[in-house]
Amino acid sequence: MQDTYDAMAIHYQEFFMSVSAAPANTQVHSGPRLSVNLDAQALAQSLSGKHYINGQLVGSASGKTFDVVSPATRQVVGKAALGDAADVEAAVKSAKAAQKEWAKLTPRERGRLVAECGRLLEQHAEELARLVCLETGKALRTECRPESKVLTDAFEMFGGLGSEIKGETVPHKTDMLVLTLREPVGIIGAIIPWNVPMMLLSLKVCPGLVAGNAVVVKSAEEAPLAVLRIAQLCGQILPPGIFNMLSGMGPECGAPLAQHKDVGKVSFTGSVETGKIVYKYAAERMATATMELGGKSPMIIMQDADLDKAVDGAANGMRFTRCGQSCTAASRIFVHETLHDAFVEKLKAKVDAMKMGDPFDEATDIGTIISSGQFEKVKSYIAIGEATSGAKAVRCSALPSDAKLKDGFYVQPVMFTGLDNNSRLAREEIFGPVTCVIKFKTYAEVLAAANDSDYGLAATIWTKDLKTAMDAAHKLQAGFVQVNQNVVVQPGLSYGGFKQSGIGKEATLEAMLEHFTKKKTVLINLN
């Protein structure tokens, strides 16, 4: 093992000599590039059973793997390396060895390399979209290609922000110069989920790298392949050890990463329950942590709202094309009593027009639930709703008729009417295509109901009245509030929740400075 690191050190020294000597527009790595592979099955096989550590695809220390299953067919499409503490140790050791030299580059130079990664990933955008489609069951056209675009946007945006990593001068005494410096944390441990793995990887890796850190990522066990390919592609530009990718289960792989003494910051996206465990691990070491957790996001449709636009917003905001597998999904839709029936009718017609089917089919709008466990969880919540007195299940769209998809994790989108804000379906995060449409009479009533939740991630209000809109924007207890629209998270828009929905922000320059650097105050006596 020592010989490996000695060789890496020699290569690394040569790399940085080339960087320091090269003009800004010089390609650092000039070797042959990996070719685009649009055969998702073949690509999955080529990546099977591997981590990405120190610039190489390597098997797990134990030699163990686990199956990667297509949710559309329940067929095994590949293997993932079953990581444990030994793999975490190898990845962190590699990151630690590489980070010191990486931090010596100017922020602009680091940003240039990260932006170059973005341009390379853009060349592979269709390949990555197809790979994430295979392993997650999300529809290629409506979900996977847009996610691939966000991925490349994030790399290019953060890459351009390198020059903004700077300190301040602080007025103090006339005979003293006081300034602040922004320095890297060191090693970032990132734990990402399966619903939008590429996008959420980018919001952690990109600012971490530009800020001068090395990154070790633990992928979601359900979606390890596309993010592994991203790390491999970026390895054609970035020096070895700076961007490492592990796969495995939470207790055996994620926990050792969050607990590792050399990991200075943990960035986690996932459930509240797991987030609390990870946060405790970081706190025990006094490491900093960012937590992007669950949501039960309210959507309020006032009496004066444009109903057709609100229906479009609900269809998009509920993330029906993603089977509702989004922490920002509008899973509580509060509709003024005068619009309620018309809204339900129009939304059903809207979702009925969406086709559920083969994720790779260009005609498909809605794909699958991610896994057997999540499939059963969603069905159990639907059963609870159907068993509730006074509730009505309004099923939308139609299950696919293709025989090859008969075993897939397909669930019809369901709207429940007749439930109130105290029902389990309105209070608990389902992470499936299930929403509650709840009547209300007054603005005060609906505002109180919207805020009556343990979560505070996202919220929307639909109204033509500017005063109402501004009042709601101030009073809604959510970190991401929209008026008359329901767009997804995008690079450049500060993202993060209140209450049980998390701690910290992502996706912006401010988030990079606050969460991926350390602020040092320097006092210089001029006498």
The helices-and-strands tally (H runs, E runs) of the chain is 17, 21
* In contact, 325 and 369? CB cutoff 8 Å: yes
E strands, 339-397, are 392-395
3-class DSSP string for 163-214: HHCCCCECCCCCCEEEEEEEEECCEEEEECCCCCHHHHHHHHHHHHHHCCCE
Nearest alpha-carbon partner for 397 in 415, 377, 374 = 415
* In contact, 214 and 241? CB cutoff 8 Å: yes
DSSP letters for 395-448: E-S-----GGGTTS-----EEEES--TTSHHHHS---SSEEEEEEE--HHHHHH
Reply yes or no on whether 292 is catalytic. yes
| Cβ burial, residue 403 (10 Å; 0-12/13-18/19+) | exposed
* In contact, 487 and 481? CB cutoff 8 Å: no
* In contact, 216 and 208? CB cutoff 8 Å: no
Q: Which of 147, 221, 222, 292 is catalytic?
A: 292
Q: Which of 117, 144, 253, 327 is catalytic?
A: 327
Chain position carrying tokens 């049980």: 500
- What does the alpha-carbon distance between residue 398 and residue 386 come to, in Å, rounded to a whole number? 18
Angle between helices 125-136 and 197-210 (to 10 degrees): 130
- What does the alpha-carbon distance between residue 264 and residue 285 come to, in Å, rounded to a whole number? 9
- Bridge-based pairing state of the strands 76-81 and 176-184: unpaired
- What does the alpha-carbon distance between residue 118 and residue 151 come to, in Å, rounded to a whole number? 8
The residues assigned a catalytic role are 292, 327
